[in-house]
C-alpha cells in the first residue's frame, strides 16, 4: 500500500515537471513568434472555428427539419393507407391491400417498409411478403386515443422512424410504415461537402484579409521597432512616417517622433555641455596658471628678493622696514591664493552647506559683480544635501547672478531658498531688462552656447527642473525645483536615531 502511494506521488511529480517543461517551451515559442504571425493565426483560427461552428449548426438544423418532415410524410402516408384500407379490410380484399402497400413503397423512396395488421395483431399484408422480421410487429403500438405513434429504430442501414397509424380508430387494424433517413443522410453528406468547400473558400479569403490587415497593423510597429533600434544606436535622425494611418497609430508615431526630437536635443545639449565643460576646464586651468604665474609667482619672487635684501641689511631700522614690506607682500599673496581657492571651490560649501555658501556669495556680489543681492532662507534648518546637489545649485545660482551682472542692467537681485516638505525650491530674481526666453534658448542651442541650456542640463542631471520666466522690460525669475526625497539628511533625525 505504501509503495503504491509513493509510486503515485512520484508519478504526479513527474507529470508536474513535464507540464512545467511544456509550459516553458510554449512560452519560449510564443516569445519567438512575431506579432504578425500571431495576428494571422488568431484571425484564421477565428474564421475556421466560426466556419466549423456555423457548419455544424446548419447541418443540425437541416437534419432536424428534414427528420420532422420525414415523420410528417410518414404520418400522411400512414393516414392515406388507413383511409384507403378500411373498406378493403371489411370486405377481406387482401389483394388490393397488397397492391396499395407495394404502390406506396415503390413510389416513395423514403418508405423502407410498410405492412398492415388486423385488430388482433395478425399480418394482413406486407412489403416483406408474409414473413416479417422478428419482433417488428411488436415494437410499436398506438394507443386508442392517439392519431399515430412514432418509434425510432437504429438499424444496420441507419435510423428508421416506425410510424403506427390506427385504421378506423384501431377497430379495423393498424398501418405500420418505416421511414428511412438514408435519403436525408445523402443530402446531409452533399450539404457537408458544400459547407466544407465554402469553409475552405472563406478560410482562404480570411487568410488574405488577415494578411492585409496584419500588414496594416504591423507595418507601423515594424517602423517603430526599426526607429527605436536606430535611436538605441545613437541615430536620432530616424523618424516614423505614417501618412496613410489614422487614429491611435498617428498619435503613437507623433509621440515617438516628438520623443526622438527631444532626445536629439537633449543629446545635443549633453554633447555641447561636455564640450563646454572640457573647454571650461582648460580655460580654468589656463587662468589658474596665469594667476599663479602673474600674481602669486611675482609676489613670491618679491618676497624672495626681499629676504635676500634682508640678509644683507645691517641697519635695524632698515631691517624693520623690509620686514614690514615682506609682511605686506605675504598678506597680499595669501589673499590672492584665498580668492583663487574660493573661486575654484568655496570651502564654506563643504563646511557649512548650501545655505551658508549662498548667503556668503550674495554678500560678496555687491563688490564683485556690482549688484545688491538679498538672501532669504526658509525651512532649511538642519538640512544637509549631497555634495553633488550643493555644488550644482551653487554653480547654477552663481551663473545666474553672473548673467544678471553682464546682461540685465539690474541694480538689485534676490536669492530665495526654501524647503516645502520634500521639495527644495531655489529662486533667483532680478529687476533687469528681461528677455524673450524661447528665443534666447533657441539661439543658445543653435549657436551651441552653454548659457541657459547648460544651466537646465546641470539641474536635470541631479533630478531637478529649472524654469525661466522673463519678458522684455519685466525682469527675470529663475526657479529650481528639486525633489529631496532620498537626498536629504536631517541632523535632528540623525541625532535621534544615533
Q: Which residues contact 257 (CB under 8 A, 6 or more apart)?
A: 239, 240
Give the pLDDT band (50/70/90) at residue 288: low
Give the pLDDT band (50/70/90) at residue 207: confident
Q: Are 150 and 168 in contact (CB under 8 A)?
A: no
User: Which triple of cell numbers denotes residue 443?
Assistant: 539661439
pLDDT of residue 43: 75
Would you mind telling me the total number of residues written for the chain in this entry?
Answer: 498
More confident site: 292 or 375:
375
Dump pLDDT digits (tens) for 176-185: 999 998 888 8
Between CA 466 and CA 328 the distance in angstroms is 45
Between CA 434 and CA 411 the distance in angstroms is 13
Strands 372-378 and 412-420: what pairing?
Answer: parallel
The percent of residues in the chain predicted with pLDDT above 70, rounded, is 77
Rounded to the nearest 10 degrees, the angle between the axes of helix 437-446 and helix 248-290 is: 70
Mean residue pLDDT of the chain comes to 78
Going from the C-alpha of 173 to that of each of 88, 91, 117, the distances in angstroms are: 12, 14, 5
Dump pLDDT digits (tens) for 53-106: 888 888 888 888 988 998 999 999 999 998 898 888 888 888 898 999 999 999
Give the pLDDT band (50/70/90) at residue 165: very high
pLDDT of residue 495: 38
Mind giving me the DSSP string for 190-210? HHHHHHHHHHHHHHHHHHHHH
Count the neighbouring beta carbons within 10 Å of the beta carbon of residue 106.
10
Rounded to the nearest 10 degrees, the angle between the axes of helix 248-290 and helix 316-344 is: 170
Dump pLDDT digits (tens) for 482-491: 988 766 554 4
- What φ, ψ does residue 247 adopt, rounded to 5°? 65, -135
Going from the C-alpha of 29 to that of each of 24, 38, 164, 231, 267, the distances in angstroms are: 9, 11, 62, 28, 38
> Residue 427 pLDDT > 90, yes or no?
yes
> Residue 19 pLDDT > 70, yes or no?
no
pLDDT of residue 22: 60
> Residue 361 pLDDT > 90, yes or no?
no
Q: Tell me which of 107-121, 149-163, 203-217 is least confident.
A: 203-217
For 113, the enclosing helix (H) or strand (E) is strand 111-117
> Residue 172 pLDDT > 60, yes or no?
yes
Mean pLDDT score, 452-458: 80
Q: Tell me which of 9-13, 260-264, 358-362, 471-475 is least confident.
A: 9-13
pLDDT of residue 169: 83
pLDDT of residue 493: 42
Q: Are 459 and 465 in contact (CB under 8 A)?
A: yes
pTM: 0.43
pLDDT of residue 497: 33
What domains, with CATH codes, occur in the chain? 55-189 (3.30.450.20), 348-497 (3.30.565.10)
Between CA 124 and CA 173 the distance in angstroms is 9
Give the pLDDT band (50/70/90) at residue 281: low
pLDDT of residue 280: 63
Helix (DSSP H) and strand (DSSP E) numbers for the chain = 13, 12
Q: Are 417 and 358 in contact (CB under 8 A)?
A: yes
Dump pLDDT digits (tens) for 367-379: 777 888 999 998 8
Amino acid at each position: 500500500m505504501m509503495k503504491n502511494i509513493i509510486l503515485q506521488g512520484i508519478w504526479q511529480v513527474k507529470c508536474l515537471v513535464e507540464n512545467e517543461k511544456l509550459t516553458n517551451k510554449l512560452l519560449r515559442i510564443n516569445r519567438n513568434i512575431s506579432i504578425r504571425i500571431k495576428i494571422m493565426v488568431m484571425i484564421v483560427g477565428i474564421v475556421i472555428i466560426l466556419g466549423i461552428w456555423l457548419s455544424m449548426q446548419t447541418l443540425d438544423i437541416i437534419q432536424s427539419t428534414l427528420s420532422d418532415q420525414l415523420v410528417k410524410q410518414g404520418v400522411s402516408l400512414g393516414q392515406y393507407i388507413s383511409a384507403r384500407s378500411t373498406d378493403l379490410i371489411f370486405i377481406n380484399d387482401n389483394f388490393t391491400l397488397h397492391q396499395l402497400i407495394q404502390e406506396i413503397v415503390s413510389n416513395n423512396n423514403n418508405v423502407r417498409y410498410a405492412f398492415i395488421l388486423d385488430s388482433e395483431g395478425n399480418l394482413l399484408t406486407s412489403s416483406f411478403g408474409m414473413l416479417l422480421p422478428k419482433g417488428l410487429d411488436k415494437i410499436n403500438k398506438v394507443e386508442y386515443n392517439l392519431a399515430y405513434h412514432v418509434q425510432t429504430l437504429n438499424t444496420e442501414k441507419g435510423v428508421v422512424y416506425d410510424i403506427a397509424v390506427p385504421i378506423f380508430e384501431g377497430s379495423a387494424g393498424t398501418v405500420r410504415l418505416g421511414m428511412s433517413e438514408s435519403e436525408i443522410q445523402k443530402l446531409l453528406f452533399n450539404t457537408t461537402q458544400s459547407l466544407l468547400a465554402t469553409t475552405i473558400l472563406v478560410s482562404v479569403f480570411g487568410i488574405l484579409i488577415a494578411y492585409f490587415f496584419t500588414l496594416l497593423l504591423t507595418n507601423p510597429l515594424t517602423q517603430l521597432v526599426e526607429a527605436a533600434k536606430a535611436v538605441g544606436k545613437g541615430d536620432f535622425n530616424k523618424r516614423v512616417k505614417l501618412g496613410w494611418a489614422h487614429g491611435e497609430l498617428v498619435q503613437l508615431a507623433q509621440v515617438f517622433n516628438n520623443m526622438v526630437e527631444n532626445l536629439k536635443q537633449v543629446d545635443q545639449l549633453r554633447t555641447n555641455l561636455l564640450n563646454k565643460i572640457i573647454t571650461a576646464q582648460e580655460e580654468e586651468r589656463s587662468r589658474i596658471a596665469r594667476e599663479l604665474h602673474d600674481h602669486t609667482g611675482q609676489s613670491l619672487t618679491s618676497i624672495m628678493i626681499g629676504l635676500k635684501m634682508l640678509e644683507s641689511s645691517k641697519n635695524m631700522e632698515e631691517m624693520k622696514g623690509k620686514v614690514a614690506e615682506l609682511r605686506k607682500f605675504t598678506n597680499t599673496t595669501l589673499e590672492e591664493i584665498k580668492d583663487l581657492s574660493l573661486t575654484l571651490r568655496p570651502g564654506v560649501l563643504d563646511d557649512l552647506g548650501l545655505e551658508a555658501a549662498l548667503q556668503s556669495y550674495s554678500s560678496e556680489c555687491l563688490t564683485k559683480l556690482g549688484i545688491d543681492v538679498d538672501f532669504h532662507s526658509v525651512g532649511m534648518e538642519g538640512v544637509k544635501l549631497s555634495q553633488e546637489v550643493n555644488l550644482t545649485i551653487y554653480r547654477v545660482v552663481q551663473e545666474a547672478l553672473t548673467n544678471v551682472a553682464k546682461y540685465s542692467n539690474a541694480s538689485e537681485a534676490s536669492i530665495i531658498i526654501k524647503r516645502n516638505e520634500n521639495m527644495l525650491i531655489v529662486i533667483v530674481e532680478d529687476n533687469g531688462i528681461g528677455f524673450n526666453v524661447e528665443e534666447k534658448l533657441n539661439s543658445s542651442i543653435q549657436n551651441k552656447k552653454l548659457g541657459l541650456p547648460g544651466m537646465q542640463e546641470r539641474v536635470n542631471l541631479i533630478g531637478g527642473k529649472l524654469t525661466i520666466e522673463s519678458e522684455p522690460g519685466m525682469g527675470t525669475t529663475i526657479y529650481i525645483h528639486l525633489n529631496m526625497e532620498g537626498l536629504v539628511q536631517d541632523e535632528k533625525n540623525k541625532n535621534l536615531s544615533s
